[in-house]
């Protein structure tokens, strides 16, 4: 009689080159979109309005890129990070074809790196995860690395392999949508007169607003993504743990920061790439999240006159307004109030 429950993979269970097909394909619907709006208050016009999307030549309002990210990420959790100690980083994340309500997403991962900790208790697993729609088209392709416990500290150490990862996604790898009537995307509709030409490298923007997170909210969000990581849901167990409370899924903070960034980056209508990111400190129910952004790079997209790209670094803080751009201490270590350091590339209409 086989053991029926999934206890997840431990560091020893991963092999370089291993391919894992993740369970539970998920159809995203207008219901998921409404919940996403209600959890973050996002207001980017293209994701909000079928009428605008249709005017621009799209079949309907595309689903928020981060809802796609969370859905694909959630699928990987039971296989990759059920025994994770920490989610360490992201790289080379490229969003592919847009996702519309009714599309069914599935995910698979390839193990591309393994590095055991010197203490023999855990190791870092690098996976390249790919999300596809029902037609096999790639909707997201990204790398993350995560520290996973070993089943046994006696298991022999393996030769480390660390993949080479780019600092940022190359412009030629970005997938830009085709908008047949970009002139119909206006400042009145989007809520901001600031377009691609108005931003400069090095510019910093305080997104001003703060949003307090309730326990019910982050759990509703994380379950929506079918993310099963235990630390987010079980107060009975967590009260005996390191923090005494439930940890909030790091992706929840990414979405909150992105929604807050509307106030200053309202025309960043699409995330095209995730270059990197770190959850620099944990967040908990009751924390109030603020955010600020820095324009890291500004570049044209070859063959595209309608919009350009901005590489943006968005930093989120807890219980710390961002008028002073909280960041790192004199040793280069993130301040204890800084909870997210996210490096991504957005598309913005040129005007």
| Residue in this structure with the two tokens 């997170």, named with its chain if needed | 213
Q: Does the protein bind a copy of itself through residue 6 (CB under 8 A)?
A: yes
Stretch that binds a copy of itself, among 111-119, 146-154, 166-174, 219-227 (CB under 8 A): 219-227
Residue 38 interacts with a copy of itself (CB under 8 A): yes or no: yes
Please list every residue from 108 through 137 that binds a copy of itself, using CB under 8 A. Answer: 134
Task: Determine how many CB atoms are found less than 10 A away from the CB of residue 206.
Answer: 16
How many residues at the interface with a copy of itself, by CB under 8 A?
84
Task: Give CA 247 to chain center in angstroms.
Answer: 17
Of 45 and 254, CB closest to a copy of itself: 45
Question: Closer CB to a copy of itself, residue 146 or residue 256?
Answer: 256
Q: Which helix (H) or strand (E) holds 142?
A: strand 138-149
CA distance 37 to 17: 38
8 Å CB contact between 265 and 273? no
Which span (118-126, 159-167, 187-195, 308-316) binds a copy of itself, by CB under 8 A? 187-195
5 counts as binding a copy of itself under rule CB under 8 A: yes
Out of 84, 112, 169, 224, name the contact with a copy of itself by CB under 8 A.
224
Under the binding rule (CB under 8 A), the answer on residue 173 touching a copy of itself is no
Residue 124 in contact with residue 117, Cβ under 8 Å?
yes
In the list 263, 278, 335, 341, the residue contacting a copy of itself (rule: CB under 8 A) is: 263
Q: Which of 48, 155, 301, 351 binds a copy of itself (CB under 8 A)?
A: 48
From the list 153-161, 166-174, 233-241, 303-311, the region that binds a copy of itself by CB under 8 A is 233-241
**Binding residue for a copy of itself, selected from 72, 127, 168, 205, defined by CB under 8 A:** 205
Instruction: Report 13-32 residues binding a copy of itself (CB under 8 A).
Output: 21, 23-27, 29-32
Asked if residue 150 lies in contact with residue 12, where contact means CB atoms within 8 angstroms, the answer is: yes
Nearest-approach distance from CB 267 to a copy of itself, in angstroms: 10
Alpha carbons 59 and 51: distance in angstroms, whole number: 10
Q: Residue 107 has which token pair?
A: 């995910």
DSSP string across 182-240 = GGG--HHHHT----GGG--TT-EEE----EEPPHHHHHHHHHHTT---GGGT-HHHHTT
Contact status: 234 vs a copy of itself (CB under 8 A)? yes
Q: Minimum Å distance from CB 170 to a copy of itself?
A: 27
Q: Which of 273, 274, 215 is nearest to 245 (CA)?
A: 215
């Amino acid at each position: 009689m086989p053991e029926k429950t999934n206890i997840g993979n431990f560091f020893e269970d991963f092999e370089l080159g291993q391919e894992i097909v993740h369970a539970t394909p998920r159809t995203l619907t207008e219901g998921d979109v409404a919940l996403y709006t209600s959890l973050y208050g996002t207001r980017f016009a293209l994701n909000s309005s079928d009428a605008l999307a249709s005017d621009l030549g799209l079949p309907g309002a595309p689903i928020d890129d981060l809802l796609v990210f969370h859905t694909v990420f959630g699928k990987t959790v039971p296989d990759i990070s059920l025994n994770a100690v920490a989610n360490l980083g992201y790289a080379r994340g490229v969003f592919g074809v847009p996702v519309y309500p009714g599309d069914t997403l599935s995910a698979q991962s390839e193990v591309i790196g393994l590095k055991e900790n010197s203490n023999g208790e855990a190791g870092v697993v690098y996976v390249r995860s790919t999300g596809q729609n029902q037609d096999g088209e790639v909707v997201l392709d990204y790398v993350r690395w995560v520290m996973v416990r070993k089943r046994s500290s006696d298991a022999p150490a393996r030769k480390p392999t660390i993949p080479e990862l780019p600092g940022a996604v190359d412009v030629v790898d970005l997938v830009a949508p085709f908008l047949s009537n970009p002139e119909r995307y206006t400042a009145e509709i989007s809520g901001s007169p600031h377009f691609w030409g108005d931003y400069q490298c090095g510019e910093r923007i305080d997104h001003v607003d703060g949003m307090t997170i309730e326990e019910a909210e982050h759990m509703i969000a994380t379950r929506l993504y079918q993310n099963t990581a235990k630390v987010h849901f079980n107060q009975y167990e967590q009260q005996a743990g390191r923090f005494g409370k439930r940890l909030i899924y790091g992706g929840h903070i990414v979405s909150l920061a992105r929604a807050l960034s509307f106030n200053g980056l309202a025309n960043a209508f699409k995330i095209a790439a995730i270059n990197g990111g770190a959850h620099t400190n944990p967040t908990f129910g009751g924390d109030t999240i603020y955010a600020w952004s820095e324009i890291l790079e500004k570049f044209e997209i070859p063959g595209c006159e309608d919009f350009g790209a901005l590489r943006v670094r968005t930093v989120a803080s807890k219980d710390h307004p961002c008028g002073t751009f909280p960041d790192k201490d004199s040793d280069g270590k993130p301040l204890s109030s800084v909870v997210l350091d996210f490096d991504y590339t957005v598309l913005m209409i040129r005007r």
